Homo-oligomer: A and B are copies of this chain.
C-alpha cells in the first residue's frame, strides 16, 4: 500500500506526464510538489523500486502501467470527493480542492464504491474533469481552448485547464460555468481578448489568458 506522500508524488507525476504519456523531469516534480530536487530524487527511487515509475538517472521518470493505475485511483477519489462536496454539501467549486486533496487518501474501497453510487456514477467533476471508473478507465473528450475557436458556431464550456480558486471565482462572477453555451462576438486583435455571449443573454470581455484556460467543444 502506498503512503500519503507516495500517492501525492505519483499523482503529480501522472498529471505532469500528460496522463502518463511523456517523461517527467526531477525539477518539474520538485516545482509542483513544493519540495527540493534532492527530496524528489529520494522519492523517485522509492517509487521506482515499487515499479510504479521507470527511472533513468538524470533523464527523469516515466509512469508504468501499474503506476498509472494507482495514480488513476487517487484521481478517481479526488474527483468523486469534489463532486460530493459540491453536489451534496453545497461547497462552491473554488472551495473543494484542498479538502479533496486530503480526502483522496482515505483507504477504503467500500467507501469509494458507495460514494460513487450515492452520487449516481458521475462522469465529470465540478471542474469538468473526467472521473476514472473503478477499473481505471477514463473517458477523455477532445476539448480545445476557447482562445482557439473562431466563427459563430455554438460553443459549450466543458472544463477549466487550471482550476485555481481565483479563476473559478472569476468565472462564477461573469456567469461562466461547466455546460454554459457561449459564442464569440469579437476577437480583439491588439491583446487577443474576446467578447463573448454567454447563454444568449450576457455579453462580456475576457482576456486571452482566461480564454486559453477555458476548454470547450464546438
Chain A residues in the interface with B (C-beta under 8 A) = 85, 88-91, 95, 98-99, 102-103, 106-108, 110-111, 114-115, 118
Contacts and interface: CB of A to CB of B under 8 A. Distances in A.
A85 B111 CA distance: 8
Given A89-B114, A89-B115, 11 more contacts: A85-B111, A85-B114, A88-B88, A89-B111, A90-B114, A91-B114, A95-B110, A98-B108, A99-B108, A99-B111, A103-B103
Contact of A107 (B91, B102, B110): B102
Contacts of A111: 85, 89, 99
A80 to B, nearest CB: 12
A106 B99 contact: yes
Identify whether the interface residues of A are mostly helix, strand, loop, or mixed. Answer: helix
A108 B100 CA distance: 10
22 contacts: A85-B111, A85-B114, A88-B88, A88-B118, A89-B111, A89-B114, A89-B115, A89-B118, A90-B114, A91-B110, A91-B114, A95-B110, A98-B108, A99-B106, A99-B108, A99-B110, A99-B111, A102-B106, A102-B107, A102-B108, A103-B103, A103-B106
Contacts of A110: 91, 95, 99
